[in-house]
Amino acid sequence: MLEEKIKTALETVRPSLQADGGDVEFVSVDNDGTVSLKLTGACGGCPMAQMTLKMGIENFLKKEIPEVSAVVGV
């Protein structure tokens, strides 16, 4: 159930990433609410990738889904 909520929420941020030539892939979520994501395309090698994950995607997911505790890149 949590995985589906996360995947649905990621569809909201995906167009912004795709507009810059990148994308995001859901990898996993563990029992403590840590979400593992993979940035791909232009986002995969971007020097701002960690900021995108933490300040953008993590903040959004935490706001939308209280069970999310953190987002990490893989």
pLDDT tens digit string along 15-69? 989 998 999 999 999 999 999 999 998 888 888 888 888 889 999 999 999 999 9
Q: Which residue has the higher pLDDT, 5 or 48?
A: 5
Residue 41: name the closest of 32, 33, 49 by CA. 49
DSSP letters along 4-45, please? Answer: HHHHHHHHHHHHHHHHTTEEEEEEEE-TTSEEEEEEEETTTT
Average pLDDT in the 1-19 region?
94
**Domain annotation for the chain: domains and CATH numbers:** 2-73 (3.30.300.130)
Pairing of strands 70-73, 22-29: unpaired
User: Cα separation of 17 and 40, whole Å?
Assistant: 9
pTM of the model: 0.89
Determine the pLDDT at residue 47. Answer: 86
